[in-house]
A and B are shown apart, each in its own frame.
Chain A
Amino acid sequence: MQRRRASALVLLVAGVILAAACTSTAVVTQNGPVVTVFGGYRGVEAERFAASVAPFEEQTGITVSYVGAGSFAKAIEDRVANADYPDVAIFPQPGLIQEYARQGILLPLDEETQATVTQYPETAVGTVGDVLYSVWFRASVKSLVWYEPQVFAGQGYEVPSTWDEMMDLTSRMEIDGYAPWCLSIESFGATGWVGTDWIEDIVLRQSGPDVYDKWVAGEISFEDDQIIAAFETFGEIVHQPGRVLGGTQRILNTPWTQAQDPMFESPPRCLLNRQGSVQQAQLPSWVTIGKETDSFVLPAMDEGEPPILAAGEFAAAFADRPEVHALLQYLATPEAGAAWAAAGGFVSPHKAFDSDLYGDDLDRRVAEIMNRAAVIRLDGSDAMIPSVGTGTFWTGMVSYIRTGDARTVAADIQAGYPEVTHFPEVPVSEG
């Protein structure tokens, strides 16, 4: 008789999940009015936000009580689902503002705040229909390419001024034995956004701001030839063997935060990294901007000022109280960012912002780039409806990098739009 016996005990430590949060309150036992603010700033950023609203608190006696969540987009969705609204939320995704405004959960800006915002036309971007819902508080620029100036000087490379020059430079780097591009996109649950930034930058350059706006609004399909063409332009970089360090494998599996690290090896293993001003926080501590690395604006297709893809945070109100509107009105003024700009890590969307207030050189340069740009557009995926912008567009970028099949990917992304493409009219109530 044969007897076999097998047994197994499997102990699973199922998934370690990380979450982070941050709070700041100037006064603990408050007698005056309190405005609760919910956002994504944590750690140093939360402290600097608190410093930014301190003058407001002093002037008005209103207390700003801030809570920041690491996974803001999910947290605000949960709060909205439970009708547990903060007074003010600071959204990195204008798309969420659009959605909540359409649902009638968010309040339009009151008349005084609208007047303040329209006083600085460049900041009046938070409209749903014709109604202003949000205040653009902090800005960042996405359309930058990071490089190593010493390698450029040593090899005789020049900063390209057109897209073709940039592709010629790419070829020259390949001939010189380098993998030209440092590109990796892994970003936990948000993997894909680095790729969407590329497509947006290319659409803006190849097809212009009008097509871009219609595409972001859902009026031009992902399956439109102009959008397919943008994927293919991106494909000339990601799908040409040898152009990106480590190929598809590294692009998809390496955290975006480490994309540029091989540039700082000796000899450098890649030479160009298209990434926004957020890259500053990812640079190794010994790297100085202007010395070991620097950035140029991703060139336009032709000579001329390139359009700028921008992002940032936008404040909007869930509660209709005078102190809430007072805070939004304050956040709409250039003064609101002064403390943060001095500490570094803040770019004001206001053209009127005094550039002497910047304590950080990169912040000042980014502000200059924004002031000079003739065309500025907000990050499209942040502004698209979330099921596409932070849904199928993200996953679609992973598929496209893996397969290179632009048409199929475009159809899959487009499928993220709900059946009804026309939203009901927004109920307009005057604050």
Chain B
Amino acid sequence: MTPIESIWSKIREREPWTDEEREQTLDELFPDDEKIIPYLKRFATLMILSTMIAAFGLIANSAAVVIGAMLVAPLMTPMLALAASLMYAQMRRFMGSVTVIILGTLGAIATGWLVSRLAAGTLTAGSLSPELLARTSPSLLDLGIAIAAGLAGGYVLTHKGAGSSLPGVAIAVALVPPLATVGVALEFGAIEFALGALLLYTTNLIAIVLSASIVMFISGFVPDYVRQIARGHLGLRLLPWGLALLAVTVPLGLHTKSVLEDEAFVKDVTTAVEEWDPQAEILEIDADRSGSRATVSMTVATTTSDLQPAWKLAESITREYGIDLDLDVRYQRESTDAASTS
């Protein structure tokens, strides 16, 4: 036994799965013929409601409401079902799960779009809430979260007694909020934001299916007779998912790179501000650098009445760092006044 095999055998240490337990778990994932209609009704209802909660929460910028939506969201089940169908090599169940996921995805985007139509007038593309914006620029960190959460999802499914952790999995790897974000962003014509949120959702979907499949395989959830039949094709079945995972790492890597660049650039700007006006304190800064062009908007607090003009700062940053700049500065002058009589 190689060391890795021995570690895995430790992880797998539990009562071996009985066929009854497997059937019961699979039943939960794949409703039977007569249960399919009630299942779909329940799925559709929860999907629409959770997306509505998510969209309203995102527009209202309420993290708590968005988390609530994640707990109501029913998308995790068909994704775990998809992973199981891959491991069991069951084409019919595979197609069924894929269909449910696609319909759920499209339905959620449409619901997000409708909600933002209803809420129109409270928002413009320029004033999208931070909760929304947070879902439009996924990075490699999000991929890490999704892989870990997929492993946890698979673990919970295959280890009785760990079921109470499933809500945590759902929160860690949110599926419905990114879809709601796609819908809202589309309504505001912010195609780039919509694509960013869609990338986050796709990353989560792929990572969950792939890592849950792996947990199912090594945990003994897949019985030996299925493993023997299916083993030859296992690599072939997982290959597209592995390739898809590699494919999403490209844009995620680019996003991450630009986030790191922006952070380094903010440091440069901060240094320049210190030279520009030693009295000024940056209260808020938003910098977006792409190549040799950057957009910076910031709020500075200053106690002097002799405000330094923005163009001087822009000029010094360009001279110092060779970056062309669009700069907006808000000066906030604070003063206090107090009085008392007795």
B129-137, B253-261, B326-334 - the one binding chain A: B326-334
Q: Which of A3, A20, A28, A29 contacts B310 (CB 8 A)?
A: A20
Assess whether A22 is in contact with B326, with CB atoms less than 8 Å apart. yes
CB closest residue in chain B, given A23: B318
Beyond A10-B338, A23-B324, 9 additional pairs, beta carbon < 8 A: A4-B341, A5-B341, A13-B333, A13-B334, A14-B334, A17-B333, A25-B324, A75-B309, A78-B309
Known A18-B328, A43-B326: A68·B342 in contact at CB below 8 Å? no
Assess whether A67 is in contact with B339, with CB atoms less than 8 Å apart. no
Within 8 A of A (CB), among B294-331: 299, 307, 309-311, 313-315, 317-318, 322, 324-331
Instruction: Check: A15 CB closer than 8 A to any chain B CB.
Output: yes
Q: Which of B314, B335, B336 contacts A23 (CB 8 A)?
A: B314
Instruction: Check: B340 CB closer than 8 A to any chain A CB.
Output: yes
Instruction: Check: A83 CB closer than 8 A to any chain B CB.
Output: no
Report the bound CA distance from A25 to B329 in whole Å: 21
Q: Measuring CB to CB, which residues of chain B are less than 8 angstroms from any residue of chain A?
A: 189, 292, 299, 307, 309-311, 313-315, 317-318, 322, 324-342
Assess whether A20 is in contact with B335, with CB atoms less than 8 Å apart. no
Assess whether B307 is in contact with A23, with CB atoms less than 8 Å apart. no
Report the bound CA distance from A20 to B297 in whole Å: 9
Known A8-B340, A14-B334, A23-B317: A68·B322 in contact at CB below 8 Å? no
Q: Can you give 18 contacting A-B residue pairs, CB < 8 Å? A: A4-B341, A10-B337, A12-B337, A13-B332, A13-B334, A15-B333, A16-B331, A17-B307, A17-B331, A18-B329, A19-B310, A22-B325, A23-B325, A24-B318, A28-B292, A28-B322, A46-B326, A75-B309
Assess whether B341 is in contact with A21, with CB atoms less than 8 Å apart. no
Instruction: Check: A281 CB closer than 8 A to any chain B CB.
Output: no
Instruction: Check: A81 CB closer than 8 A to any chain B CB.
Output: no
CB distance from B335 to the nearest CB of A (A): 5
CB closest residue in chain A, given B329: A19
CB distance from A36 to the nearest CB of B (A): 9
Assess whether B333 is in contact with A14, with CB atoms less than 8 Å apart. yes
Q: Which of B313, B336, B338 contacts A21 (CB 8 A)?
A: B313
Assess whether A8 is in contact with B310, with CB atoms less than 8 Å apart. no
Instruction: Check: A11 CB closer than 8 A to any chain B CB.
Output: yes
Q: What are the residues of chain A within 8 A of B327 when measuring CB–CB?
A: 20-23
Report the bound CA distance from A5 to B266 in whole Å: 49
Within 8 A of B (CB), among A48-81: 50, 65, 67-71, 75, 78
Assess whether A17 is in contact with B330, with CB atoms less than 8 Å apart. yes
